[in-house]
Structure 1
Amino acid sequence: MAGHAHESNAKRIWIVFGILSVITLVEVYLGIIKPSALHLHGPGTSWLNWIFIILTLAKAYGIAWVFMHLEGEKKWFRRAIVWSGVFLMIYMVTLFLLEGEYIYDTLSPLVRW
């Protein structure tokens, strides 16, 4: 029985940790500061919310790519997982934006926000 060489992935894990930490720090910074320039209304919601959505999806993709070992899988399998998640997230974001706007419009005469 041949021995299996084990490679250390410590460097790679620290690089991924650094990248995810930087993205998280940007999200926290924007969440605390809330720049008024980004409160302009974009498609469906403010640009600040779109930045949060995009950064969160980037982190989710990075975590799946590295820690679920998607980079070593066949191309069709990677695409099936990633595109299923992308379409699900697009659907959820669209649903939340439409329903949130409806609830806001419906309750705004009754509730003081």
Structure 2
Amino acid sequence: MAHHTEHHEEKLPAQTKEIWKTFWILLIITSFEFVIAFTVDADHYKWTKIGIFVILTIVKAYYIVGIFMHLKHEVKSLIWTIILPCIFVVWLIVALIIEGGYIGLIRNLFTK
């Protein structure tokens, strides 16, 4: 009798592949952030670094919310009901920081 050997290959489900793909993307983005943090001069390129970090953080948030919180597969109206308030909150924080800085600048000018 001939021995019949079965070759078992472990197949990963589509979700597992997607999670691993997201893991590698997030790892690459985070590694890139570390390289920028430790190699780019903060004195000369402060706003460039901040801009890069903000953009990369938004990209990472997209992958985390889309894949791990399963929002990527939801209806567009649900996605907008979550994203739109977040955009307004970020806008509010930026506006308050800018206005707060302006008020502090004006106060310093008039108290001297």
Matching residue's letter, 2:68? F
- Taking the aligned partners of 1:83 and 1:74, their CA distance within structure 2 comes to 14
Preserved CA contact (<8 Å) 1:64 1:70: yes
How far did residue 73 of structure 1 move?
1.5
TM superposition score normalised by structure 1: 0.66
**CA shift digits 1:89-112 (9 cap, x unpaired):** 2332443455467769989xxxxx
- Taking the aligned partners of 1:101 and 1:57, their CA distance within structure 2 comes to 27
From 22, 25, 34, give the equivalent of 1:19: 25
Larger RCO (CA within 8 A; separation ≥ 6): 2
TM superposition score normalised by structure 2: 0.67
The answer for unaligned runs of 5 or more in structure 2 is 1-12
Judged with a 3 Å threshold, the aligned counterparts in structure 2 of structure 1 residues 54 and 78 are, in CA distance, closer, same or farther, namely same
**CA shift digits 1:62-113 (9 cap, x unpaired):** 1111111112211111111122222222332443455467769989xxxxxx
Q: State the percentage of identical aligned residues.
A: 30
How far did residue 32 of structure 1 move?
0.6
Preserved CA contact (<8 Å) 1:38 1:48: no
The answer for unaligned runs of 5 or more in structure 1 is 1-6, 41-45, 108-113
Alpha-carbon RMSD = 2.8
